[in-house]
Every structure is written in structure tokens, then in C-alpha cells.
Amino acid sequence: MKRNIRALVTGAGTGSSGNLIRALQSINPRPHIVGIHNDQFVLKMSWAPRNYLCPEPDSGEFVTAISAIIKRERINVVLPTDDNYVKALSDARNRLPIEFLLPRKKTIDLCQDKYALNAFLRRRSIAAPLTYEVRSLPDVDRTFGRFSRGGLLWCRARRGTRSVAAMPVATAEQARAWITLWRDLHGIRVSDFTLGEYLPGRHFIVQGLWRSGHLLRTETMEVLSYFAAGNNPSATFSLSNLAKTVEASEALEVALSAVQAIERMPSGTFIVELKESVDGTPCITEINAGRFPAGVTALLATGGDNMVETFACAALGEVSPRVDPKAPTVERYLVRDIDSLPMVLSPAELEQDARRADSARPNKQGRRLK
């Protein structure tokens, strides 16, 4: 019997919170949903029926405020929407009045440091790009020399989201200029940068849901295009505007092996991002532990395959894994753009649109085809 879900969604009013709230609203019976945000203007855009202005997650007042909201609204499920909320909830989990379906604190801290995670994976022979930390600006030349072949390297900050400070660089001079710019304009320390192998292949996202070591659900998606790619010096972005569900067994197995290497008994959600190397090997570029992806959640919550519902039920102790949690779902496409709701399309819908376009196309005599 499904218990009454009373969910709290952080970052209410953002796109990622909207995806989660719409997924929750599709559950029958509909849950009680509460949103929180520290910005009163963003909070006004929340899809949640009830909303609270709350301190920033890294403030000293956050734990007291969210505890009061959880008690007042009788919350039993919390869905964080970004790494700051994940860390705040993880660090305070023993001081909050409910249990969370979250990975261990040690896991979250490891995954929020991309370089530490990369080193962890490579020590265990799990596919990840060769990467070195930048210790100082003069160190950049020596780091370039540690890569055996020429071509591009990937320069990025070891912490942060949405491809912050990420850029392909061809020379040490370019890397130094890029790092210096971010140091001087944004205060990111030189030692917070890494230089790594550039991966030119396909971009996969593997979303997994675990509870007490049991894999409940997975979904593998391929990012086909990015927001503002033409205006971004890296030509990529962590947010997609076109993605689709795919069957990619090698990427899936690499992702699952990484999660199980990090946690012997995984619990919670894990977003594993991978890109293919020159030889087509899917390599892990990062893992976001404890939340759903900001961009492609709509692909996880369509039809009878609502991973957000599975998460909420699992958080309440109602575990009903698929017979085969790794079985691929039906192929679907996700289209997103600024100021519009995400749209999920099936191949049949796209084919139908293509047939309509063909029927409307004039023939050589300029007459419409019937």
C-alpha cells in the first residue's frame, strides 16, 4: 500500500525543481508538495502548492529553518536539486528530524571533488580520463608534457556544476590565460584547476537509483546538443537541449562499477556522466551523488516509468525494483529550451510529423502532394 508522500523540493522555482515537482504531481494519489528557496523572486515561480523562503544552504540558519518546515508540513521525503543542497543535507543528516535516501557523507564529498574522484577511479582501473591537478601557473608547461600525444586537453575547475570554468585548450599558453582569467575575475584558485585528456566522443548520462545496496532503476541517456553551445568557448554545456534514452551497455556497466567501487552498499541517486575517448571507450568525467539531473529529469518520469516516484517510495521503505533494473526503456527524445516546458517525444511522433511535412511539400509543378 503506497504511503502518503509528503515531499519537500529544494531550489523551488528553478528548472530542475520544476521537473521534479511535475514528476511528483503525476503520482496517484498526488503527493503533498512543498518548495523552498532562499530567493523570494525565484520562489514566486515555484510549481509547488506550498512554498517557504529559506536561508541559503551554506548558511548557519539553514538547518534550523528546514527542520521547522519538515516538522510543520510533516515532510517524509526530501529531494535536493543541486550539489549545495545535497551537501547541506548530508552534513546535517543526524540533526534533521527525518531520514534521507542519500549516499554516505564520504561519498558525497568525494564526488563533489572531480579530481579526487578521477584519481579514485583510475586507481581502481575504472575508465576515466587521464587527469592532473594544476599546482601553479608555472606548473602548466610541465603538466602539458605529461601527456604523450598532442592535441586538445580539457581544462576545468575541480569543483562546481554546469561546466564551470571548463574549456578545451591546445597549448600551455591558452591554459594559463584561461586559468588566470578565472582566478582574477571569479576568485577560483589556480590549484583548483585540472588538466585532463580531452574526450571527443558521445556524451552519456547514466542515472541510477539504489537502496541499501540494491539497484532499483537505471536509465541511460545520450546528450545530442547543448544550450548555448555556439556562445560557449567549450562548445558544450552540462545542460542539454536535445537528449534521448539509449541502450549503451558498456557505458552502463562502467557507471555501475564506479558506484559500487565508491559504496559497498549504495543508497540514493547517482548521476554518472561519461564521454567516449578516441577509441570509443566510455570514460567517467564526473558523478553527482544524491540528486536527480537538472536537465533530463523529464526523461526519467514519463508514462509508467517514473523514477522520481520510485525514489519517493524507496525513501519511505517501499521498495519494488524492476525484475531487471538495467533493462532499457522505450526510446524517447527530450527537447528543452529557455522559457518553455520540456517536451518528451517518441520516435513514432517524430515520424508522424515527418510524414505530414512530406505531404505538405510541393511537387515539381508547384502543386501540393495529396
- The pLDDT tens digits of the residues spanning 58-96 come to 999 999 999 999 999 999 999 999 999 999 999 999 999
What is the overall mean pLDDT for the chain?
Answer: 89
Of 110, 116, 121, 148, nearest to 132 by C-alpha is: 116
CATH 3.30.470.20 fits 203-351, yes or no: yes
Q: 333 to each of 44, 102, 237, how far by Cα in Å?
A: 30, 29, 18
- What is the model's pLDDT at position 327? 76
Spatial neighbors of 302 by CB under 8 A, at least 6 apart, are 332, 344
In the predicted structure, residue 368 carries a pLDDT above the cut 50 = no
Distance in angstroms (rounded) separating the CA atoms of residues 101 and 57? 18
In the predicted structure, residue 250 carries a pLDDT above the cut 90 = yes
Q: What is the dihedral of CA 247, 253, 255, 258, to 10 degrees?
A: 180
Distance in angstroms (rounded) separating the CA atoms of residues 75 and 156? 38
SS3 56: coil
In the predicted structure, residue 227 carries a pLDDT above the cut 70 = yes
Confidence of residue 351 (pLDDT cuts 50, 70, 90): confident
- What is the model's pLDDT at position 1? 47
Q: What is the dihedral of CA 99, 221, 346, 307, to 10 degrees?
A: -10
User: In this structure, what C-alpha cell is assigned to residue 348?
Assistant: 513514432
The CATH architecture assigned to 130-197 reads 2-Layer Sandwich (3.30)
Contact (CB, 8 A) for 28 and 2: no
Q: Which residue has the cell 568525494?
A: 110
Break the chain into its structural domains and give their ranges.
Answer: 6-100, 130-197, 203-351
Confidence of residue 347 (pLDDT cuts 50, 70, 90): confident
Q: What is the pTM of this model?
A: 0.91
Look at domain 6-100 and name its CATH class.
Answer: alpha beta
Instruction: Pick the most confident of 5-19, 139-153, 304-318, 355-369.
Output: 5-19
Neighbouring C-beta atoms of residue 142, cutoff 10 Å: 13
Q: Which residue has the higher pLDDT, 16 or 268?
A: 268
Q: 294 to each of 143, 152, 305, 359, how far by Cα in Å?
A: 33, 28, 18, 38
Instruction: Tell me whether the CATH fold assigned to 6-100 matches the one assigned to 130-197.
Output: no
CA angle 192-107-206, nearest 5°?
A: 90
Over residues 237-244, the mean pLDDT reads 82
Residue 362 DSSP class: B
Phi, psi torsion values for 5, nearest 5 degrees: -85, 125
What is the side-by-side order of every strand in the sheet holding 32-37?
50-53, 32-37, 6-9, 77-79
> Quick one: 226 exposed, middle or buried, by C-beta within 10 A (0-12, 13-18, 19+)?
buried
In the predicted structure, residue 358 carries a pLDDT above the cut 90 = no
Cα 290 to chain centroid, rounded = 10
Which region among 118-127, 196-205, 338-347 has the lowest average model confidence (pLDDT)?
338-347
Spatial neighbors of 11 by CB under 8 A, at least 6 apart, are 17, 36, 37, 80, 81, 82, 85
